[in-house]
Structure 1
Amino acid sequence: MLTTNKRAVLAEEMLTHASANVTPHRLALVLAGVLVLTLSAKVVVPMWPVPMTMGTFAVLTLGAVYGPGLGLATIGVYILCGALGLDVFAGSSATTSGLAYMAGPTGGYLAGYVLAVLTLGVAARAGWDRSPLRMGLALLAGNLVIYLPGVLWLGVLLGWDKPLLEWGLLPFLLGDVLKLGLAAFAVPLAWRVCGVLSSR
């Protein structure tokens, strides 16, 4: 169960001495986050049974590092860029772009990105990002809220009689387990590194 105590998230901790609440710093973080999300969506890693991108890893990690407020602002700008036709999504240049792309099979997962950033942001605000175990649980919840609207939207588009789980969930599980494991240790490790640096 998440605690109600609000704790600093990693981005705030790292920028404590750089006036993190000042608008230019927050804007820079949003732009950096959009760039990371875009690059991660374009990175394709060979994987069985399907290649994977690092998009979900970036989304979930960003939610934990940025927290709910800054994280939602960043994912909102990212999705807005995509809606305007910028090539920021996985495969958006190979098929369609803009709103047409977002209304396609990927649309539900993009909605899930917003929910996932919020989920990880709230968990980080409660301090769950400082422990690999709790971070792992938060990541599982975040991944679930990506898949849920994603598969449901596939059902709306393609029909409920189709093998939706075989198309929209099962092929990605192995890659997601690896990405979740990486994020579960990377964020708490970043906290430890931040603590070491701040003590110098």
Structure 2
Amino acid sequence: MSIQVTTIRPGAVLADVLPASSAGRARARDAVLVLGGAALTGVAAQIAVPVPGSPVPVTGQTFAALLVGASMGARRGFLSLALYVVAGVAGMPWFSETQSGASFPSFGYILGMLIAATVVGALARRGGDRGVFRTAGTMAAGMAIIYGVGVPYLALATGMTAGEALSAGLVPFLIGDGLKAALAMGALPAAWKLIGGRD
């Protein structure tokens, strides 16, 4: 009886483990992954809890966007979130609380997610999703980008001061984001260990 060993090439992300026997099949796989990543983000955005005193709800959208980037890499992560953003702006009601368009105060967070998924995907290709502490750093970088875009956008869209925007658009979400990061810290390295690609 032989044991099959999974060989993972350097610079791979989890999505690269999915088999594709030809260039055409690889393109089809990538298209399905991009569509799936956009859909996952849209579904996760509907898990929304209003925050008193803030126009920004707590959602599963942030975690989904970062997970898409980490598991798919920069290019597919960017395309997934770009599809999510473009379809939502065009009228697909899959932003948080079934919103669409671009005329709401929390739209900056969505733009931040697009950038964050790309950066997190690039970090994952450099091993940023392989261990608990590296995954924590990767998720923290992604969340910093989301807030770095979302909070200033919130201030501009609502006329809040910088302090008010931080109080309404950052502080209430820190505990939840810590829990999301902890979930990723367990899930991503565990997935690599399961497929035999832990370094």
| Alignment TM-score, normalising by the size of structure 1 | 0.84
Percent of pairs with identical residues: 36
Match of 1:68 among 54, 63, 74: 74
8 Å CA contact retained: 1:60, 1:139: yes
Partner AA of 2:188 in structure 1: V
Alignment partners' CA distance in 1, 2:87 and 2:123: 27
Deviation readout 1:91-129 (Å, 9 max, x if unpaired): 134xxx22xxx2321121011001110111111010111
8 Å CA contact retained: 2:53, 2:168: no
Q: Give aligned pairs, total.
A: 185
1:146 aligns with 2:150: no
Deviation at 1:16, TM superposition (A): 3.3
Matching residue of 2:12 = 8
Matching residue of 1:166 = 167
Unaligned ranges ≥5, structure 1: none
C-alpha RMSD over aligned residues: 2.5
Alignment partners' CA distance in 2, 1:49 and 1:104: 15
Secondary structure of 1:163's partner? helix
| Alignment TM-score, normalising by the size of structure 2 | 0.84
Deviation at 1:59, TM superposition (A): 0.6
Unaligned ranges ≥5, structure 2: 1-8
Partner AA of 2:65 in structure 1: V
1:120 aligns with 2:126: no
Q: In the TM superposition, what are the counterparts of 1:35-114 in structure 2 within 5 Å? A: 35-44=39-48, 52-93=58-99, 97-98=100-101, 102-114=102-114
